[in-house]
Chains A and B, each alone.
Chain A
Amino acid sequence: MIRVRNRQSGQEITLEGPKTVHQLLKELNLVEGAVLVMRDGELLTRDARLEREDFVELIPVISGG
Chain B
Amino acid sequence: MKCRRCGKRAVIDIKAHHTAFCRDCFILYVHRQVRRAIAEYRMFSREDKILVCVSGGKDSLALWDILLSLGYECHGLHLDLGIDGYSERSRMKAVEFAQKRGCTLRVISMEEMGIPVPKLAKKSRRPECSVCGTVKRHFFNKAALEGGYKVVATGHNLDDEAARLLGNILHWQWEYLAKQRPVLPPVSDLLVRKVEPLCRLSERESAAYAILTGIDYILEECPMSKGATSIRYKHALNILEDSMPGAKMSFYTGFIKNLPRLSRAWEDLHGAIGEDSGGSFSRCSECGSASFTDPCNFCRLTIESGLRPR
Contact = CB atoms under 8 A, between A and B. Distances in A.
Task: Please determine whether chains A and B interact with each other in the same assembly.
Answer: yes
Interface of A: 7-8, 31-36, 38, 42-48, 59, 61-65
Contact of A65 (B12, B204, B230, B239): B230
B225 A43 contact: no
11 contacts: A31-B239, A33-B238, A34-B235, A36-B12, A46-B13, A61-B203, A61-B204, A61-B206, A61-B207, A63-B57, A64-B222
Contacts of B237: 33
Given A36-B208, A59-B211, A63-B225, A43 B219 contact: no
Given A43-B12, A45-B1, A45-B11, A65 B159 contact: no
Contacts of A59: 207, 211, 219
B300 interface: no
B228 interface: yes
Interface in B219-242: 219-222, 224-225, 228, 230-231, 234-235, 237-239, 241-242
B154 interface: no
B208 A62 contact: no
B211 A43 contact: yes
B15 interface: yes
Interface in B236-290: 237-239, 241-242, 248
Contacts of A38: 211
Interface hub of A32, A47, A62 (most chain B Cβ within 10 A): A62
Given A45-B20, A63-B203, A8 B221 contact: yes
Given A8-B219, A33-B238, A45-B20, 15 more contacts: A7-B219, A31-B238, A32-B204, A32-B242, A34-B204, A36-B12, A43-B11, A43-B208, A45-B1, A62-B203, A63-B57, A63-B225, A64-B230, A65-B132, A65-B225
Given A7-B219, A43-B212, A33 B12 contact: no
Nearest to B23: A43
Contacts of A64: 221-222, 225, 228, 230-231, 234
Contacts of B11: 42-45
B203 A65 contact: no
A47 B1 contact: yes
A33 B298 CA distance: 35
B1 A65 contact: no
Contacts of A46: 1, 13
B107 interface: no
Contacts of B230: 64-65
Nearest to A59: B207
Contact of A33 (B212, B224, B241): B241
B12 to A, nearest CB: 6
B223 to A, nearest CB: 10
Interface in B179-233: 202-204, 206-208, 211-212, 219-222, 224-225, 228, 230-231
B129 interface: yes
Contact of B159 (A32, A48, A62): A62
B58 interface: yes
B241 A31 contact: yes
A10 to B, nearest CB: 10
A43 B234 CA distance: 22
Nearest to A33: B238
Contacts of A42: 11
B199 to A, nearest CB: 16
